[in-house]
Chain A
Amino acid sequence: MYLTAEEERVLRGEEGEARAKALEVIVKVGEALGAERLQPIVHAHVSGVSYNNIGEPGRKFIEDLANMGARFSVPTTVNPIGFDLEAPEAFDLISADREVLEGQRAIVSALHRMGASLTLTCTPYYIPSVRGLRPGQSVAWGESNAVVYANSVLGLRTNREGGPVALMAAIAGRTYYYGMHVPEFRRPRAAYRLEAPGGYRLDYARAAVLGRVLVRLHRGEGPPLLDASVDRETFKELGAAVGAEGDIAMVFVPGLTPEEPPSRFEEVVTIDYRDVEAELESMRLDDVDLVYVGCPHASAEEVEALARELSRLKPKGNRPQLLITTSRDEERRISPEAMAVLREYGAVVLRDTCLIVSKLRREGLRVATYSYKAMFYLSRHGLRVGLESMEELARRLGSEA
């Protein structure tokens, strides 16, 4: 691999042991993938920070770097953890025992010492400073849903970086020049057109199912191009489904993706909306114990929309619990009116938390959500999960006056 004089200097340890080690890992991964050079980055988002997931080996890995004196050389944000850092007991279904609390606090503190901004969210794309990055800039992001959003909606360039690679890239300020950083790898060759009657609205749940359908159909090289009217908000669920179900880092959506779409395709495939509807229909559950919104973390707008639905109804006496996970920044933007409605329904709002990486107290819990990603992972943790629209979720919680 070609290295600049500056990179050679870092590798020789002239900027400290930690930066040398970080760059060495990036070079090794790049060489394995056949990258010809490195790519400077302007931001990193680190996944794999939950103690429940990475345990003692992961904690030691991150703490060793911090103790070695590692410092992030670009602005760095971090993924959520298994509980609300300021209120670990806020939700009775999530357990965080002493070992987990201690291990998690050690990881968070090590990341903070290295210079991370403790965003603890899987939606870095809602953070104003991240939204200020320009299309075409390279970043190193872990967190599969965020990677798909970054490439597809923000026009940022990132591969699906493994948790430790994003961490090393943040320290080195560079990643390997490969995949999504290379313009020709970002060019779609196959187009998928959603055929649907006028007025067919791709809400969160439908977008999520469409993402899953897309992953199953797309086999070729390059990102798929999706011709469907999906907006930034609902794209979030589509991208999350794509990230969970497959290894695709980008979905090119004309009108949403800032890049110029090609005029010709090797393959054009039609997706019938009835297939999306049939699949969604097959994913419903009858009774549930929990209604879950916020995978990926809910935006303030999303919570406002849910509150509007709920405000038209009256809370049912015998209703499932309502859980919302979001980031601290987004939570602050939720209006007092919406919060009042949520309180009426006894909603639990958790910051910093990803339900997927949480330790849940109950096996066999039945959950309704519009997140295919939540369904994909939670059902692997022994939960029963059904998929439905926001309106349907609201009607599980409230009834017409």
Chain B
Amino acid sequence: MELRGRQLVPGRAAGQAVVMDALSFYGDVDPHTGRTPDGRSVASRVIVARRPRGSTVGSYVIYALKANGAAPAAIVMSRVDPIIVAGCVLAGIPLVDSIPEDQLSKVRDGDLVELDGSGVVRVRRAAP
């Protein structure tokens, strides 16, 4: 499957998908371990989330994840906000937005996600 969005923060990346709905880095991701409240890790994975929410501290959490070696490889969303953009700019994490929600919702946890750096996101189902 190939999704087309807008490359907001440049960079190529690949990793397993961690799928979320609404994402606030503050509260939803531990800045030390990169773990979500339900125990998944975002470290070196590609976060695939529908929309942002919540705290403006999120930018620092993204920055801290990078400093702590637990940053995601990339972030792919339908909608972003300046909080996430700023965190990704500071931490140098590739960011793609504007993926239509009906397409984004087809991505499953653990799928292999690859950003080619031009806003194109390739998704392959992981071998069972």
Could you tell me if B54 and A48 are in contact, using CB atoms closer than 8 angstroms? no
Is the pair A61, B54 in contact by a Cβ cutoff of 8 Å? Answer: no
Say yes or no for A297: interface residue by CB 8 A criterion. Answer: no
Which stretch (B11-19, B85-93, B104-112, B118-126) binds chain A?
A: B85-93
What's the least CB distance linking B63 to chain A, in Å?
6
Asked whether B60 lies within 8 Å of A48 as measured between CB atoms, the reply is: yes
Partner pick for B59 among A162, A243, A245, A246, CB 8 A cutoff: A162
Q: How far is the CB of A250 from chain B (nearest CB, A)?
A: 13
Is B60 within 8 A of A164, CB to CB? yes
Q: Is the CB of B83 within 8 A of A160?
A: yes
Q: A54-B64, A58-B64, A162-B83 are in contact. Are A244 and B55 (CB under 8 A)?
A: yes
Verify B56–A160 contact, CB threshold 8 A. yes
Determine the chain B residues whose CB is within 8 A of the CB of A53 once the complex forms. Answer: 26, 31, 57, 60-61
Residues of chain B contacted by A160 (CB below 8 angstroms): 56, 81-83
Q: Does any Cβ of A come within 8 Å of B42's Cβ?
A: no
B68 CB–A CB distance under 8 Å: yes
Whether A55 lies near B32 (C-beta < 8 A) is yes
Separation in Å of the B20 CB from the closest CB of chain A? 14
**How far is A35 from B68 in the complex, measured between Cα atoms in Å?**
31
**Which of B26, B32, B52, B57 sits near A247, CB closer than 8 Å?**
B52
Of A163, A245, A377, the contact of B56 (CB 8 Å cutoff): A163
Does residue B4 face the partner (Cβ distance < 8 Å to A)?
no
Say whether B37 faces chain A, with CB atoms less than 8 Å apart: yes
Q: Which residues of the other chain, B, contact A245 by a CB distance below 8 angstroms?
A: 53-54
List CB contacts (< 8 Å) of B64-87 with chain A: 64, 66-68, 79, 81-87
Say whether B100 faces chain A, with CB atoms less than 8 Å apart. Answer: no
CB-based contact B85/A29 at 8 Å: yes
The residue of chain B having its C-beta at the shortest distance from the C-beta of A46 within the complex is: B56
Contact indicator A25/B57 (Cβ below 8 Å): no
The CA-CA distance from A74 to B110 in the complex, in Å, is 46
Is B58's CB within 8 Å of the partner chain A? yes
Find the A residue at minimum CB distance from B23: A247
Max count, chain A CB within 10 A of own CB: residue among B56, B59, B68, B95: B56
In the assembled complex, B9 has its CB within 8 A of some CB on chain A: yes
**How many residues belonging to B are interface residues under a CB distance threshold of 8 Å?**
37
CB distance from B11 to the nearest CB of A (A): 12
**In the complex the two chains form, is B59's CB within 8 Å of A163's CB?**
yes
Q: What residues of chain B lie closer than 8 Å to A50, measured between beta carbons?
A: 57
Tell me, rounded to whole Å, the shortest Cβ–Cβ distance linking B117 to chain A.
14
Task: Give A47 to B26 CA distance when docked, in angstroms.
Answer: 12
B3 on the interface (CB 8 Å rule)? no
Q: Is the CB of A179 within 8 A of B57?
A: no
Tell me which residues across on chain B come within 8 A of A199, comparing CB atoms: none
Q: Is A165 an interface position by the 8 A CB rule?
A: yes
Q: A32-B9, A243-B54, A246-B53 are in contact. Are A164 and B82 (CB under 8 A)?
A: no
Chain A neighbourhood of B86, CB < 8 A: 25, 29, 161-162, 164-165
Q: Nearest chain-A residue to B90 (Cβ)?
A: A164
How distant is the Cα of A244 from the Cα of B26 in the complex, in angstroms? 10
Q: Are A164 and B55 in contact, with the CB atoms below 8 A? A: no
Q: What's the Cα separation between A54 and B66 when bound, in Å?
A: 12
CB contacts (< 8 Å) of B90 on chain A: these are 25, 164
Binding site for B on A (CB under 8 A): 25, 28-29, 32-33, 47-48, 50, 53-58, 60-61, 142-144, 147, 159-166, 178-179, 243-247, 376-377, 380
Give 30 pairs: A residue, B residue, CB < 8 Å, sorted on A. A25-B86, A25-B89, A25-B90, A29-B89, A32-B89, A33-B8, A47-B55, A48-B57, A48-B60, A53-B60, A54-B60, A54-B64, A55-B68, A58-B64, A61-B60, A143-B56, A144-B56, A159-B81, A161-B83, A162-B56, A162-B59, A162-B84, A162-B86, A163-B56, A164-B90, A178-B82, A244-B24, A244-B53, A245-B54, A377-B27
Extra 19 A-B pairs, beta carbons < 8 Å, given A33-B85, A143-B56: A28-B89, A29-B85, A33-B82, A53-B31, A53-B60, A54-B61, A57-B68, A142-B56, A144-B56, A147-B56, A159-B82, A161-B86, A162-B84, A178-B82, A245-B54, A246-B22, A247-B52, A247-B54, A380-B27
